[in-house]
Amino acid sequence: MREVSFGQYYPAKSFVHKCDPRAKILFLIVYIVAVFLGKNFYALGACAFVFVLVAAFSGVPFKSLLRSVKAVLFLLVFMTVLNLFFYKGETILWQWKFIKISKEAIYYTIFLAVRLFLLVLGSSLLTLTTTPVSLADGIESLLSPLKLIRFPVHELALIMSIALRFIPILTDETQRIMNAQKARGADFESGGLVGRVKAIIPILIPLLISAFRRADELGDAMDARCYSGSKVRTKYKKLTFSWRDYLALLSCAALLAGVILLRIYTTALI
């Protein structure tokens, strides 16, 4: 669990790290839209090329990015198996009773797996290159027009920032609880599925207690520092766009335009 990198920050002085958090959030949104708009491997190839290019400029080791896939590995395998056996295709390669595997199902399953893979990698790259404070400031700045309708923008950004910060903390806490349970003779690796689920219960209860205790301590610390939300608050660092941010926005616009053109002028999956 410690190897799951989602929600953790990788300190570096790279081109991507120096970009404005608003530009990186907008880039991620456009990137996700482009991945979902792509309906063939050509579009996913364009998204993968842009991602590899951005990852190269970020200075983040590709191994750290791949570790983020572990968080959704079960979902990836489950979705792959489900689509492989139940996707309807014309070219049947194998059949057993009502279960069929077709050539089209294999292509479509690989397509969905690559799409989910790219989505997870893109989201993880944002958290690896942006601190939780900068991410909260960027979200608050982008949602600032909603303040006109009295939407609690600052509070929403703060909640998201705290949630991202708590991911690695709770992961380490889970590992410590598991080590303590193993020292008392608990077994989490043997037995069937039901046995492993029952073995997780002694972990969840102290983990929930620890999470509530940390949340209570955080609330007391904010009260002690007279935290009052978004009212009359100033910022030490002002967010400003630079040439890096305009270049990033231009590249994501080019990606979206390319994917749309591929969607219009190509029809085949491969």
* Span 172-210, pLDDT tens digits: 888 888 888 888 777 767 666 667 777 777 788 888 888
Q: Is 59 left (phi over 0), alpha (psi -120 to 50) or beta?
A: left
pTM comes to 0.77
How confident is the model over 2-6, as a mean pLDDT?
A: 52
pLDDT in tens, 225-242: 887 766 666 777 788 888
DSSP per position, 66-109 = HHGGGGGHHHHHHHHHHHHHH---SSEEEEETTEEEEHHHHHHH
